[in-house]
Structure 1
Amino acid sequence: MRIDIWSDYVCPFCTIGERHLAMALEDYDGDVEIFWRSFQLDPTAPKEPTETGVDYLVKSKSMSREQVEQMLSGLAQRAEMIGLDFNWRDQVIANTFDAHRVGHAARAQGVGNEWDQALKHAYFTDGKNVASAETMKEIGTAIGLEASLIDDILASDQYADSVNEEIQAARQMGVNGVPFFVFDGKLAVSGAQPPAVFKDMLKELENMD
């Protein structure tokens, strides 16, 4: 089975939804191949962080600081229940476009899943700037990418067209938010669905065969 996942590295619902999918797949007997697809929640975010995640949401969502902190605390509790650590107080907002470009290189070298998981951990748990070359090289070399490869990508526009094409493909399907999951090109679902929803979709696909 092929599962295409449109996701952004700084999207908490993506991380929760992907963990729910992994939980659903624990009881699935067939072979599954994940294909990560690029998406940006905020293409206008700066490469150099200028505000915390809390500050950003207060401004962009027109919510009070108390409302934002309550919302993020609730998300952290939800994440903790499935083994994720959302350190929302230390999160910094930065543009993810370059990280998606390096992500394409990671996919090409067979470590796309490792890149996705490590970058999201760096953002959600470690509070790192995922737009910085230092962070990307630290993560990339840990999963087997050459630091020089990452330097070459960041010094050029390599994979920019690929990232934009995947974002445009999502737009053409009417996708305005992520995560967005497509199963074998037949069924699609958006959002951080519970494991039961994914299990139902897997059963439905089996019945189609």
Structure 2
Amino acid sequence: MRIDIWSDYVCPFCTLGERHLARALELAGREDVEIVWRSFQLDPDAPQESTGPALEYLTRVKGMSEEQVVAMNDGLAARAAEVGLEFNWRESQMVNTRDAHRIGILARENGRGAEWDERVKRAYFTEGGNIADHAQLRALAAEVGLDAREILADETVFAAEVDEDIALARQIGVQGVPFFVFDGKLAVSGAQPVEVFTQAMEQL
């Protein structure tokens, strides 16, 4: 079985959905699964340089009230904790994820897609890292056995592949992430519970 996953590194729902999928695969005893990680940017206009933590960014740039931001993210943090993710949203830096996705293509080509996805999301959600900063990205890449120096020195490297992933998402009607496609036949959208992923596999 092949599962294509469109996600963004700053999307807490993506991690929730991915953890639920992993649990469904574990319960089903499925080890014959190829996961293909695909790029998607929730906010392609997000700044390259950090403009402050999530609370400040969402209130100033997105026009949300402080009460809305706190309620939304506290709720997400509680849900994240249920699947073992520590979401320190007050420390998260709202930045552009394009360079991280370009390294994600390198990770995909080297069979390290899952490791890269997990490491970048932990850096963003738990450690308050700036996942657009090149020094931090090089260090994170090295941790999963990747050399990102050439990619970060030239913004055209793997840019076309990122754009192709995003264009394919639009072509098949993806409007938000996470988005899962099973064997190119069946789609599951959103951070669905374990049971939904189990049903999808049974249906196939």
Runs of at least 4 residues off by over 4 Å: none
TM-score by length of 1: 0.93
Tell me which residue corresponds to 2:136. 135
In structure 1, the residue matched to 2:28 is: 28
Offset of 1:139 from its aligned partner? 1.1
1:29 deviates by 3.0
Please give the per-residue CA displacement for 1:82-135, whole angstroms capped at 9, x wherever unaligned.
111000010011100011001111111111110000000000000100011111
Please tell me whether residue 202 in structure 1 is matched to residue 171 in structure 2.
no
What's the RMSD between the two structures over aligned residues?
Answer: 1.1
Q: Counterpart of 1:48 in 2: which secondary structure?
A: coil
d(CA) in 2 for partners of 1:189, 1:122: 26
Identity of aligned residues (%): 58
Matched, 1:119 2:120: yes
Q: Which residue of 1 aligns with 2:109?
A: 108
Q: Deviations over 1:30-57 (max 9, x none)?
A: 3111000000000001110113211222
The answer to whether structure 1 residue 74 and structure 2 residue 75 are counterparts is yes
Alpha-carbon deviation of 1:60?
Answer: 4.8
2:55 maps to 54
Alpha-carbon displacement from aligned partner over 1:119-177 (angstroms, at most 9, x marks no partner) = 0000000010001111111111111113xxx1211111100000001001101111121
Q: Which amino acid aligns with 2:132?
A: A
More divergent stretch after superposition (120-129 vs 28-37): 28-37
Give 1:163's aligned residue.
162
Output the CA distance in 1 between the equivalents of 2:3 and 2:79.
24
Counterparts in 2 of 1:60 and 1:197: CA distance versus 1, 3 Å: farther
Q: Secondary structure of the equivalent of 1:98?
A: helix
Which blocks of at least 5 consecutive residues in structure 1 are unaligned?
A: none
User: 2:5 & 2:20 partners in 1: Cα distance?
Assistant: 13
Matching residue of 2:190 = 191
In structure 1, what residue type is equivalent to 2:98? F
Q: Tell me which moved more, 25-34 or 96-105.
A: 25-34
Q: Distance in 2 between matches of 1:160 and 1:107?
A: 14
Q: Distance in 2 between matches of 1:63 and 1:141?
A: 37
CA distance in 2, matches of 1:61, 1:137: 30
The residue type equivalent to 2:4 in the other structure is D
Q: Distance in 1 between matches of 2:189 and 2:59?
A: 25
| Uncovered stretches (5+) of structure 2, i.e. residues with no partner | none
Q: Is the 8 A contact 2:51 2:57 kept in 1?
A: no
Give distance in 2, aligned partners of 1:94 and 1:161: 21
Q: 2:4 matched to which residue of 1?
A: 4
Structure-1 separation of matches of 2:164 and 2:108: 16
The DSSP-based 3-state class of the residue aligned with 1:5 is strand
The TM-score normalised by the length of structure 2 is: 0.96
